[in-house]
């Protein structure tokens, strides 16, 4: 297996994962529209549906058998261990589904980039402010749509660069060393805490419309979603 991955390959990986996360995988997982509808129909409001969804997804994915089975079905443009690809898929799918539940257009380039930023846990508020966009305290779809393409490019570059600078140098990243951040896997297991942090970040961003997540990144102080 190729040991090093470039920033360009990281973005190719994220793009493919996003496609599979939102559109689903045949005979394995439905499109997020269907997934979200199932939870929304069974709960009294979006907040309750989102919490139930997050708790169930995390519980399901803590089983190594689920991740092992999923890994062989995910087709990625970059050679990664099957379990790493599985966890990345699960984490991104959780974020994208929460965005959809919150009323965000997951087919838009802007929301796709915000999902990447949420997964990476990066701060993007300064990049957005430099473009003259002020979100205030609330993240609304109307404002998200105003993020121009050149800003999305800068955010995506920061997402890719985060993975590179976290574990590697000179534009390459060692997949073995990168596992704790990009896959949340420790010794082949599932990092429950890391994925819960990502889920809570996505919940605050897309369900509570809390724009502070854009500035605090992965260090945001969140309350762990409890079972309902």
Question: In this predicted structure, what is the pLDDT of residue 64?
Answer: 54
Question: In this predicted structure, what is the pLDDT of residue 148?
Answer: 93
Q: What is the pLDDT of residues 143-174, one digit of tens each?
A: 899 899 999 999 999 998 876 665 444 444 45
Q: What is the pLDDT of residues 108-119, one digit of tens each?
A: 999 999 999 999
Least Cα distance to 67 among 52, 77, 53, 57 occurs for 57
Question: In this predicted structure, what is the pLDDT of residue 36?
Answer: 96
Instruction: Report the run of H or E that residue 5 belongs to, with start and end.
Output: strand 4-6
The number of beta carbons lying within 10 Å of the beta carbon of residue 22 is: 22
Q: Which of 62-71, 87-96, 153-162, 189-198 has the lowest mean pLDDT?
A: 62-71
What's the rounded Cα separation, in Å, for the pair 159 and 156? 5
Counting every residue, how long is the chain? 228
Strand partners, 174: 4
- Percent of the chain whose pLDDT exceeds 90: 36
Retrieve residue 74's tokens: 């995910």
């Amino acid at each position: 297996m190729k040991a090093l991955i470039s920033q360009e390959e990281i973005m190719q990986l994220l793009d493919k994962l996003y496609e599979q996360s939102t559109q689903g995988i045949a005979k394995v997982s439905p499109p997020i529209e269907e997934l979200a509808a199932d939870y929304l129909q069974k709960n009294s409001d979006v907040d309750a549906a989102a919490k139930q969804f997050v708790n169930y997804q995390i519980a399901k994915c803590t089983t190594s058998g689920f991740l092992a089975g999923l890994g062989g079905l995910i087709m990625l443009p970059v050679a990664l261990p099957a379990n790493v690809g599985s966890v990345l898929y699960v984490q991104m799918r959780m974020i994208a589904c929460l965005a959809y539940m919150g009323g965000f257009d997951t087919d838009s380039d802007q929301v796709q980039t915000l999902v990447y930023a949420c997964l990476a846990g990066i701060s993007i508020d300064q990049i957005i402010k430099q473009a003259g966009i002020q979100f205030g305290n609330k993240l609304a779809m109307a404002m998200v749509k105003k993020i121009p393409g050149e800003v999305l490019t800068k955010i995506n570059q920061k997402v890719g660069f985060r993975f590179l600078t976290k574990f590697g140098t000179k534009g390459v990243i060692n997949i073995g060393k990168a596992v704790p951040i990009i896959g949340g896997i420790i010794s082949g297991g599932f990092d429950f805490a890391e994925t819960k942090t990502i889920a809570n970040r996505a919940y605050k961003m897309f369900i509570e419309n809390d724009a502070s997540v854009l500035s605090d990144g992965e260090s945001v102080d969140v309350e762990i979603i409890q079972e309902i």
